Structure 1
Amino acid sequence: MTATVPAAAVAQQAAELLVEQLPTATPLTAVPLGPGQAPAADTKITRAHFVGSTSADLVLVAHDAIAEALAGAGAGVEAADILRPALEAAATTLGAGVLDTALEDTLGEAFMDPDMEAFVLVDADGAAQAWFGIRVRQNRTQTAPSAPSPSVGAAPIDERARMHMLRDVELVLTAEIGHTRLPMRQVLDLVPGTVLELDRAAGSPADVMVNGRLVARGEVVVVDEEYGIRITEIVTNEDGR
């Protein structure tokens, strides 16, 4: 079998990336869920599935924790919309693949699943503010030995066939021209006409992202009165180079 990262290690990293993106009033820390720390079975959750060479189910209980952000988001914005960036950040630990639409549901017995790595997200005082769970499913394949024969050469073909199934899956590409960080109080005070200073100089290339992962850079152009991106660089490694 090929070597794989333990599910617990992947889950811990996913939880840490998730809390960085949660729009909560105070910073949170992910701690493995202990006995008696799970919320009630009828608690509202946001769930999503990740499909790729490594697949996973993601469960997030954070409706109360983001209540302030949700109230200031305006009509038509749902909790799943606000929580999706956090779920996308968690999914980056799983490698290439697609995170499907985030849906509202109830917790049920999800945290009782023995394969579910669950965390309680606590504030600086140790009080539980939210919960996160991820069930990782490694899609394992056997590697061919040094002297392959026709009878043992099918595993790489099966892997390519699985990836071929994803070729027609639509991905959401996002162009980002810059970032900034604001405390929640300033976000809630935004009004039409507010100017936000970004961390990138005018004329710098925009980042092209897929599921929160940087894949290319390019320059902003106008095509038939609509914005577009002319790709100038393909990013090929995790360092963004």
Structure 2
Amino acid sequence: MSAMTTTDLTATLREAAQAALAVLPLSAPGTITDIVPVSAAPDLGDEGTAVSANFAGAASGRVTVVVGEETLNTLLMSPEGALDPVDALRPALETVVHSLGQCVLEAGVEGDPAQALGQLDGGAVALVGAGGETLALIGLTLTAQPDTPAPAATATASASPAGGPRRTMDLLRDVQMDVTVELGRTHMTVQDLLALTPGSVVELDRAAGSPADILVNGQLIARGEVVVVDEDYAIRITEIVTPEAGA
């Protein structure tokens, strides 16, 4: 490890993992639930897999993505046939690395999750979970501290092998991802929840007429207005949310 502190690495990984979440082909919508040292990473079981790759440039180190059995099965049961985990998970690896600046990512290698995490000496792991279950792990270790980190969206295609990202994304086109439209949120106590009955009104944190959030696998990607099409609700996109704009 370089002179980067544990706090710095945690913050760097949290931002990078949040960006990678949008291209991680999970079996269910997930969020970044915590950042922990590699030694505290949970075991996703014997049926999962890990894809790792070294990188160098503005920063150097190693990045690893571990997925559990359900997500691996989603890749293996694609309508176009079984997807290679190395290809399917490469966009997530690239997004993490690109968030560190101009870096070149080497070819990914599939392996045993425990062994892959063991190679992230002194690194940290982002936990990707849903409903209390950990679906995936995104691990990072740095051997040279990055210069000024750049947002993932500003990374250029030249940092990747020729044709790599396009070919990888083509493989993922038929992988199904959950799209959620969120009108608003609120906080309630257990007592309030128990008091709900038919006809109860729950006030949300959005003003009438405000755009609804559109989330893919729990990641905010756009906003829009609710419309009716052939007696069904639909959403008209009014804004695409970039990583710079955030939530």
Counterpart CA distance in 2 for 1:128 and 1:170 is: 29
Letter in 1 for 2:136: A
Aligned to 1:120: 127
Contact 2:52 2:63 in 1 (8 A): yes
Aligned to 2:237: none
Aligned to 1:88: 94
Aligned pairs for 1:48-59 within 5 A: 48-59=53-64
Counterpart CA distance in 2 for 1:24 and 1:102 is: 19
Q: Which runs of 5+ in 1 are unaligned?
A: 142-168, 176-180, 187-237
Q: CA deviation at 1:53?
A: 2.1
Counterpart CA distance in 1 for 2:18 and 2:117 is: 18
Contact 1:119 1:131 in 2 (8 A): yes
Aligned to 1:106: 112
Cα-to-partner distance string for 1:168-201 (whole Å, 9 max, x where unaligned): x9842667xxxxx998279xxxxxxxxxxxxxxx
Counterpart CA distance in 2 for 1:128 and 1:26 is: 11
Counterpart CA distance in 2 for 1:70 and 1:42 is: 12
Instruction: Give the count of matched residue pairs.
Output: 155
Aligned to 1:172: 162
Letter in 1 for 2:11: A
The change in CA–CA distance for 1:22 and 1:97 in structure 2 (over 3 A counts) is: same
Cα-to-partner distance string for 1:75-97 (whole Å, 9 max, x where unaligned): 46311111111111111111112
Q: 1:60 aligns with which of 55, 65, 74?
A: 65
Aligned to 1:47: 52
Counterpart CA distance in 2 for 1:28 and 1:137 is: 29
Contact 2:51 2:65 in 1 (8 A): yes
**Rg comparison, structure with higher value:** 1
Q: CA deviation at 1:9?
A: 1.5
3-state SS, counterpart of residue 184 of structure 1: coil
Aligned to 2:170: none
Counterpart CA distance in 2 for 1:13 and 1:108 is: 24
The change in CA–CA distance for 1:130 and 1:139 in structure 2 (over 3 A counts) is: closer
Counterpart CA distance in 2 for 1:183 and 1:75 is: 11
Letter in 2 for 1:7: L
Q: CA deviation at 1:140?
A: 7.8
Counterpart CA distance in 2 for 1:170 and 1:21 is: 16
3-state SS, counterpart of residue 94 of structure 1: coil
Percent identity, aligned pairs only, is 20
Cα-to-partner distance string for 1:108-160 (whole Å, 9 max, x where unaligned): 3554555111122101x12111112110222589xxxxxxxxxxxxxxxxxxx
Counterpart CA distance in 2 for 1:130 and 1:140 is: 25
3-state SS, counterpart of residue 114 of structure 2: coil
Whether 2:176 is the aligned partner of 1:184: answer yes
